[in-house]
Every structure is written in structure tokens, then in C-alpha cells.
Amino acid sequence: MNRPEDDGRYRMVYAAGRREITSDDPVVLLAELIPGYAELPEAYRRRARIAHADRSLERIQGRVLSAFDSSGCDSDELQTLLNSPSNRRVPSRWSAPVPLVLIDVHFPADDRQRPQPAGGGRIIWLDTRDDDAYLRSLAVAGEIFLIIRDTADASR
């Protein structure tokens, strides 16, 4: 098992802390989460990230819900948090005390047309636009633990 000081710009801990990997290439890390990812042509990798986000969304939202106090949520907010992603009605403003997890591609790219946090509410976006952004968003959502060094030592 690689240590934090071992080679690699990225260090990812996943599977409830039972697995970890370091690499300079985020594709290597995503291949641990998405079987076959490294072998996919670049043109298909975004589709694989989106499919992974779609499969993971309900589990991630459930974990976020269990980590926050939902007693301040009204019935509509709880319904949004508890419904499966395919049955969700997402409001244009989110002010619940529990963060709402959403996938970027299911909403317009224009921030003004996307759901917005309001009154202390928080939205966690799973950002599928590229490998690095997706890893970072999985870390924000609590799916993985991620450390990114500013530079990797190329002499190793």
C-alpha cells in the first residue's frame, strides 16, 4: 500500500477506508471506482462518469441525509431527499439543513437556471465534466477521501 509521501499527485481512500491508491493520473483512481474505465477511449469516459454518478446518487444522498440533522426539514424537503433520483422534484431554491446532491448534466449548464442554495441550504454537485472535477466532487460528497498534492515529484 502506498503511503501519502509515495509517488503520485492524487491519493484516494475509499471503500470505507479499507482501500487506498496513489497516482499522478486521475484515470487510475477512477478505474478503481468504475471497472474498465482506464481502457475506455477518451470520448466515452464522460459517459462512464455520468453513469457512475447516476448509479451512486441515491446511496450518496442517503449517506449525506444520515450525517445531517433533518429535523429542520419540511415535508417537501424530506420527500426530495428520500425519493429516488428518478422521482425527485428538485426546487429552484434549496434551503434545507441537509445538503442536496445533484448531478451536473441533469440541469442546464447556466448557473442562473440551476437549483440554487438559499437561506443556509447547500447543494453538492457531482461534476462529471472531467476526471479531476469528478474526483473532487466525489470527495466533497463524502464518497471518497482525496488528497491532491500541488506537484508530484517527477524524479521518482
The C-alpha cell that represents 150 in the structure block: 500541488
pLDDT of residue 39: 98
| CA separation for the pair 87, 57 (Å, rounded) | 13
| CA separation for the pair 78, 72 (Å, rounded) | 10
| CA separation for the pair 126, 3 (Å, rounded) | 27
Above 70 in pLDDT, residue 5? no
pLDDT, averaged across the chain: 91
pTM for the complete prediction?
0.88
Q: Which residue has the higher pLDDT, 151 or 116?
A: 116
